[in-house]
Every structure is written in structure tokens, then in C-alpha cells.
């Protein structure tokens, strides 16, 4: 901290703080890599990536389930899936963990790089820690993690252009195209673009507003075109929209659930702290920036998966007003020299290589309660082909070569199908489960021991329990 504390040091060694933060985050995430492996969706994500590598093409229809065979489906995260599959092929779960940890480290390094322009290094570090704590619940080895550094870089480029009263650099367009290939959340980038463009025009002098507005509008057209620079073209935009049209499904899946304030937590503390600080110190924002903050807050309140966007983007929105109104002039942060960038790159690659060498001693494994390995072995021995499975087991079934009833691709199955499955497993409608088992000619079930449906199957005369353990219960039709 002492090496980067003074303003002169920040100008000369502006790359040191982001480098140390990135290295610290990477080590913390890699050593605790099992925390990244808490979601079995990574199984089918890797399988899709393997299919892409093997066939040198991207999928256009379902090839995994027996309930939607051949149904239209495109992967809006095809590039992330390919990268995860390649990492898994090279180093197993250690490769998956290392790739995810590298993306998370890059995210917070970029976050720190932007913040240190406007606040002291100590405060920038505290803000990084706060954003990390708010995001940690959604730091999982999944495609959205690989898109996080792109999101931060995209928004930092936009808000920097607005602060300078100019149009954004055209070099941001390839960045958005990369986001569109990594994850379906790129639509947020377009929404943010509209809000920042409004801020740029609002803050410009009256004489420049029309010209500047036209330049931002042209950039917006380029951004939409960049989002279509994927193997699927404009269908990528439609696929991203379908996820948001799932209706009741968003209330069923935990990551789409609204924020829970029944217990005091970090998110509530951050919202109250931001409000209290603004009231106490008189921090004011322009109307477009207020809309951006309120929009991100609404997203975070509506879906817990959006809390990390709130944590990472709101500080970028308020950084310049904070500095101008409360902290004096912005810091003089020099552009990193080629030597500085080279040293940072060498350090990052050395850390990455060292972590892979140490990986065999850390024994990474996916969370046990989503890996029904023994139960699936029983199903395979019995030759079960039509298995009614719990939602969380779908990814593992795909990886094991067993066609699932349902998996994490909710946009493929649709709102009606996913809701019916949820109601049947949760016994919201006692007659629904037997009807689904008959309609889809199910010959075995694979459910969690705590599932209410297990108790019903134990009582149905045409079904018998053939296997159970702490992870899963298997019933077979008599």
C-alpha cells in the first residue's frame, strides 16, 4: 500500500494496485476452488463445449434430453463452454477452477484500475473488498464469470467517455462482441449504453448536444451490430430475450429469486450505507446517473444474480462525482508503460502456471449433493433410458451419458414444462407426478432424499425404491 499511496507514485506505478489486487483475488479463489464448484450446471456446459470442439460447429437443436429431442436450441454462451471444455480437457477440475479464478481476478483488477483514478488507493481497496463480498454468492464456475471482466471493461469505457464529454472509442465494439459470445447477459451492455449516452448528452454544453448525441447514436447502432457478431447472428439477441420471458420459472430458480431482507446481510448494509452517505455528505448525481443507479438497484432487488452488477457498476457511476464533490480533483493515473504491462503479464502468467502445478495437491471436486454418482451407476446397470430427474441432477446426467428429463437449460424446456416439473417434485399437485410419469413413459426416477415426491413414490404400488443414499434416491417401475 505504501508503494502506491502518494499521488506521484500512483502516476508512475498505476499498474501496481490492480496487479496486487488481481493476484490476491486469484490466489484466494484458486485455493478455495471448491467454492467455485457449487453448481452442477457446469457439467452440461462442459459437454456442450466438447460437442463444439468435436464437431467444429455450434448446436442449433437439443441433443441431450429425451423430452425435447431435436427442439430448436442455441447456446448463447458457446465460447465460454468451449473454454471450459478445453480447460477441463487439459487439467480437469483444476483447469476449470483456474480459468474461473483468472476471470474473477481480472474483473476486480479492472475495477481497481478505474477506481484509483478518483479515490485514494486505500479507499479503492476497501471498495474492491466490499464489491467482492457482495458478489461472492454468485462467483461460480459458469459462463457469466468469464463475461464479468468484459462487463466491467465495457462500462468503464462508456462512463469514461461520458465523463470526458466525447463519444466512446470504437475499440469497445469488439469488447461487446466478445461479451455476446461469452454469455447471454450482454443485453445489459446495451441497456447500460443507453443510460450512459443520456448522461453524456445531458452533461454536454448545449452547443455540442446534438452532434454528440448523433455520435452516441451511431455507436449504439454499431453496438447492436456487434452483438450479432456470433455464429448465430441476430438470433443471439432473440435467445437472450427468451430467458427473460420465462415468467414463473424466474421465481422458481434460486438465482433469479428476489433479494431476501429477512436477515441483515451485506447487500442491505451496502444499500443503507450508500443512502446514508449520500444524505450525510450531500452527494448529488445528474438525473441520468440517478437512473443508472436506480436501475441497477432494481435489478439487484429483483434477482439476487444481479447483485454483483450492482456492486461492480454503481461505484463506477459515482466515482467521478464523489471525487469532484467530496475528494478534490481526480488522481493523475498514468497509462501503464509497456514495461509495466509486460511485468504484469509475466506475473499473471507465472501465477497461473504455478497454480496449475499446485493443483494436484488441492483435490478439487464438485459439491457432493449435486453429484449422484452411485445412483446413476445403478440406473445404468438397470438399463434405464427414460429417467425423471431432479432439476439439479440434470447436468450430471448429461455428463454421464444419460438423457435427462430436464436440466439447466430452462429456455429450451419453456415456462410451462419447468413449472409443471417443479410442482410435481414439490407435490404442489399430488396427481401431477403420476400423470407425468405415465405420459412420458418413465421407467425410473432420480430425486433428492428430501424431495416430497420421494414419499409419494414410496407409497405408489407400481413403483419400488431400488437405491438410496445421502445424495439421491432411485425408484424403478415394477
Length of the chain: 478
Question: In 3D, which of 467, 413, 431 has the Cα closest to residue 242?
Answer: 413
Q: Which helix (H) or strand (E) holds 466?
A: strand 463-468
d(CA 158, CA 223): 12
Where b means 16+ CB within 10 Å and e means fewer, 307-317 reads bbbbbbbbbbb
Residues near 307 by beta carbon (within 8 Å), at least 6 away in sequence: 134, 135, 137, 138, 259, 267, 300
Q: What is the three-class DSSP state of 40? A: coil
Residues with Cβ within 8 Å of 438's Cβ and at least 6 positions away in sequence, in order, are none
Between the two ends of the chain, the Cα-to-Cα distance in Å is: 68
In 3D, which of 196, 167, 186 has the Cα closest to residue 229?
Answer: 186
Contact 105, 25 (CB under 8 A): yes
- Integer Cα distance of 339 and 19 in angstroms: 14
Which residue matches cell numbers 502516476?
11
Q: Report the predicted TM-score, pTM, of the whole model to 2 decimal places.
A: 0.91
The confidence score (pLDDT) of residue 46 equals 96
How does pLDDT run across 128-170, given as a tens digit for each residue? 999 999 999 999 999 999 999 999 999 999 999 999 999 999 9
Residues of the chain under the 70 pLDDT cut: 1-14, 327-341
- Helix 16-31 vs helix 93-115: angle between axes, to the nearest 10 degrees? 150
- H or E stretch at 238: helix 235-244
Angle between helices 206-227 and 187-203 (to 10 degrees): 170
Give the other-Cβ count within 10 Å of 50's Cβ: 18
| Closest of 366, 284, 372 to residue 322, by C-alpha | 284
Q: How far apart are the C-alpha atoms of 32 and 52, rounded to whole Å?
A: 30
Report CA 450 to chain centroid distance, whole Å. 28
Would you list the DSSP string of 275-342? Answer: HHHHHHHT----HHHHHHHHHHHHHHHH-GGGHHHHHHHHHHHHHHHHIIIII-SPP-PPPPPHHHHH
How many degrees, rounded to 5, is the angle at CA 331 between CA 348 and CA 131? 55
Cα–Cα dist 174/227, whole Å = 9
Residue 336 pLDDT: 56
CA distance 85 to 340: 32
Range 425-434 contact pairs with CB under 8 angstroms and sequence separation of 24 or more: 425/390, 425/391, 425/451, 425/452, 425/453, 426/451, 426/452, 426/453, 427/452, 427/453, 427/456, 430/456, 433/457, 434/460
Beta strands per DSSP E along 358-460: 387-389, 444-447
Buried b / exposed e across 68-105, counting CB within 10 Å, b at 16+? beeeebbbbbbbbbbbbbbbbeebebbbbbbbbbbbbb
pLDDT for position 325: 81
- Quote the pLDDT of residue 331: 53
- State the Cα–Cα distance between residues 315 and 186, nearest whole angstrom: 20
pLDDT for the residue 4: 42
Domain ranges of the chain: 2-31+74-354, 368-477
Amino acid at each position: 500500500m505504501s508503494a502506491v499511496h502518494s499521488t506521484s507514485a500512483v502516476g508512475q506505478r498505476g499498474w501496481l494496485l490492480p496487479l496486487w489486487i488481481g493476484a490476491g483475488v486469484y490466489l484466494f479463489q484458486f485455493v478455495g476452488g471448491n467454492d467455485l464448484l457449487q453448481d452442477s450446471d457446469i457439467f452440461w456446459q462442459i459437454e456442450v463445449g466438447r460437442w463444439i470442439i468435436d464437431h467444429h460447429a455450434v448446436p442449433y437443436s437439443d441433443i441431450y434430453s429425451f423430452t425435447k429431442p431435436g427442439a430448436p436450441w442455441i447456446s448463447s454462451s458457446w465460447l465460454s463452454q468451449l473454454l471450459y471444455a478445453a480447460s477441463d480437457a487439459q487439467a480437469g477440475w483444476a483447469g476449470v477452477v483456474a480459468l474461473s479464478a483468472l476471470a474473477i481476478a481480472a474483473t476486480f483488477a479492472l475495477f481497481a484500475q478505474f477506481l484509483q483514478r478518483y479515490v485514494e488507493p486505500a479507499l479503492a481497496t476497501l471498495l474492491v473488498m466490499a464489491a467482492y463480498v457482495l458478489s461472492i454468492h454468485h462467483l461460480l464456475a459458469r459462463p457469466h464469470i468469464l463475461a464479468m471482466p468484459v462487463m466491467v471493461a465495457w462500462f468503464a469505457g462508456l462512463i469514461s467517455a461520458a465523463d470526458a464529454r466525447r463519444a466512446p472509442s470504437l475499440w469497445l465494439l469488439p469488447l461487446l462482441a466478445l461479451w455476446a459470445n461469452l454469455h447471454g447477459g450482454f443485453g445489459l451492455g446495451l441497456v447500460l449504453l443507453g443510460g450512459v449516452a443520456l448522461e453524456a448528452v445531458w452533461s454536454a454544453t448545449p452547443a455540442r448536444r446534438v452532434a454528440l448525441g448523433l455520435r452516441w447514436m451511431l455507436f449504439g447502432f454499431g453496438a447492436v451490430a456487434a452483438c450479432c457478431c456470433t455464429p448465430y447472428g441476430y438470433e443471439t439477441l432473440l435467445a437472450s430475450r427468451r430467458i427473460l420471458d420465462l415468467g414463473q420459472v424466474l421465481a422458481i430458480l434460486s438465482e433469479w429469486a428476489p433479494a431476501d431482507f429477512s436477515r441483515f446481510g451485506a447487500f442491505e448494509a451496502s444499500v443503507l450505507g450508500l443512502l446514508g452517505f449520500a444524505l450525510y455528505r450531500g452527494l448529488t448525481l445528474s438525473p441520468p446517473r440517478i437512473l443508472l443507479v436506480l436501475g441497477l438497484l432494481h435489478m439487484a432487488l429483483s434477482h439476487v444474480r444481479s447483485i454483483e452488477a450492482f456492486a461492480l457498476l454503481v461505484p463506477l457511476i459515482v466515482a467521478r462525482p464523489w471525487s469532484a464533490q467530496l475528494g478534490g480533483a481526480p488522481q493523475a493515473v498514468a497509462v501503464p508503460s509497456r514495461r509495466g504491462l509486460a511485468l504484469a503479464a509475466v506475473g499473471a502468467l507465472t501465477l497461473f502456471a504455478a497454480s496449475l502445478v499446485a493443483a494436484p495437491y488441492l483435490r478439487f471436486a464438485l459439491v457432493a449433493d449435486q453429484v449422484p454418482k452411485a445412483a446413476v451407476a445403478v440406473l445404468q446397470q438397470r438399463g434405464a433410458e427414460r429417467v425423471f430427474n431432479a432439476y439439479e441432477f440434470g447436468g450430471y446426467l448429461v455428463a454421464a451419458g444419460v438423457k435427462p428429463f430436464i436440466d439447466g437449460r430452462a429456455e429450451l424446456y419453456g415456462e410451462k414444462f419447468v413449472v409443471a416439473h417443479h410442482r410435481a417434485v414439490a407435490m404442489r399437485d399430488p396427481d401431477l407426478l403420476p400423470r407425468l410419469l405415465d405420459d412420458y413413459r418413465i421407467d425410473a426416477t432420480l430425486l433428492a432424499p428430501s424431495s416430497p415426491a420421494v414419499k409419494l413414490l414410496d407409497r405408489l404400488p407400481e413403483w419400488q425404491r431400488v437405491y438410496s443414499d445421502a445424495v439421491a434416491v432411485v425408484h424403478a417401475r415394477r
